[in-house]
């Protein structure tokens, strides 16, 4: 797959369009993957250029699997639109707004958390309650494949978790409400809400592939043009590069790309 810095002319064709938006994932894209979610920190270089780009673009948004309020606190850039829980909620007007029918699942998710908390007591496995979703992390397990199989067995036997859909992440399993909302639908909503004519999406995980597809589908039969940029790593999921239009090599490379973007995007008139 072409490397972004070797296809700058292609990118320039997209960023010349207006209104223009930049949408990015967080973990593994603007923040290095670390052993536990609490240890993650956004790259200072990425934060610096996201701040600048907020003054230059019609939209700068972050779409994350983390809760919207958590990702807002983590990124900490005024002017960014924060979408959390894989598109299930958005931080807006100083509060979290659930998306569509997702609001009906708070009690179901909480009930599943209470049941699974005792049943997932395996070495290196932790259960994270995100309000509208749960994430089972097994990065710290000594045997990743064994841990995943055992977790899936527990989920299959759980009456309370059975009503939730399981979505794989990087050494994690996400339990989400069974609604047609994901990072892809969130991207389409942002393109529509901000009347974007051009856009870039940066992501590194399986859940970002939905967003890559949304960038392509938005261009079908419309004036929108966009590029999906996959952020590569040693543990990137199978299919990520194939689904992307271009690639960048890790978080440091993303910071360098955001710097280039801030220096080359047409200045607002």
80 to 91, 112, 146: CA distances (angstroms): 10, 32, 39
In the structure encoding, which two tokens stand for residue 51, read together? 């701040």
Q: For 265, phi and psi rounded to 5 degrees?
A: -70, 140
Q: At what angle do helices 206-219 and 183-193 cross, to 10 degrees?
A: 40
Out of 25, 27, 205, 210, which one is annotated catalytic?
25
Sheet bearing 172-176, strands edge to edge: 126-129, 134-137, 172-176, 165-169
Q: Which residues contact 201 (CB under 8 A, 6 or more apart)?
A: 23, 24, 187, 208, 211, 212, 214, 215, 226, 227, 228, 229
In the structure encoding, which two tokens stand for residue 13, read together? 């064709």
Burial class (CB in 10 A: 0-12, 13-18, 19+), 267: exposed
Q: Which residues contact 258 (CB under 8 A, 6 or more apart)?
A: 45, 46, 49, 50, 53
Whether 65 and 33 have beta carbons less than 8 Å apart is answered as no
210 given a catalytic annotation: no
What is the distance between the terminal CA atoms of the chain, rounded to a whole angstrom? 35
In this structure, the strands spanning 198-203 and 225-231 are: parallel
Q: What is the 3-state secondary structure (H, E, C) of 3-23?
A: EHHHCHHHHHHHHCCCCEEEE
Which residues are catalytic, by number? 25
């Amino acid at each position: 797959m072409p490397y972004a810095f070797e296809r700058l002319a292609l990118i320039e064709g997209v960023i010349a369009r207006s209104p223009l938006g930049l949408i990015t994932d967080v973990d593994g894209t603007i923040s290095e993957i670390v052993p536990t979610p609490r240890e993650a920190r956004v790259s200072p270089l990425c934060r610096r250029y996201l701040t600048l780009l907020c003054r230059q673009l019609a939209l700068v948004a972050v779409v994350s699997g983390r809760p919207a309020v958590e990702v807002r606190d983590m990124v900490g850039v005024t002017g960014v639109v924060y979408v959390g829980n894989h598109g299930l909620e958005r931080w807006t007007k100083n509060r979290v707004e659930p998306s569509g029918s997702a609001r009906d699942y708070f009690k179901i998710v909480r009930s599943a958390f209470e049941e699974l908390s005792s049943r997932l007591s395996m070495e290196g496995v932790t259960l994270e309650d995100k309000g509208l979703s749960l994430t089972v992390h097994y990065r710290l397990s000594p045997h990743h494949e064994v841990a995943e199989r055992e977790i899936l067995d527990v989920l299959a036997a759980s009456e309370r978790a059975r009503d939730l859909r399981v979505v794989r992440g990087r050494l994690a399993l996400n339990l989400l409400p069974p609604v047609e909302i994901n990072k892809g639908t969130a991207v389409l909503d942002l393109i529509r809400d901000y009347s974007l004519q051009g856009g870039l999406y940066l992501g590194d995980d399986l859940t970002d592939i939905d967003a890559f597809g949304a960038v392509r589908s938005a261009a079908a039969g419309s004036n929108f043009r966009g590029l999906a940029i996959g952020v590569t790593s040693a543990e990137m999921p199978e299919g990520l590069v194939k689904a992307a239009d271009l690639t960048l090599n890790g978080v440091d490379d993303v910071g360098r790309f955001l710097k280039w973007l801030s220096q080359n995007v047409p200045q607002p008139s």
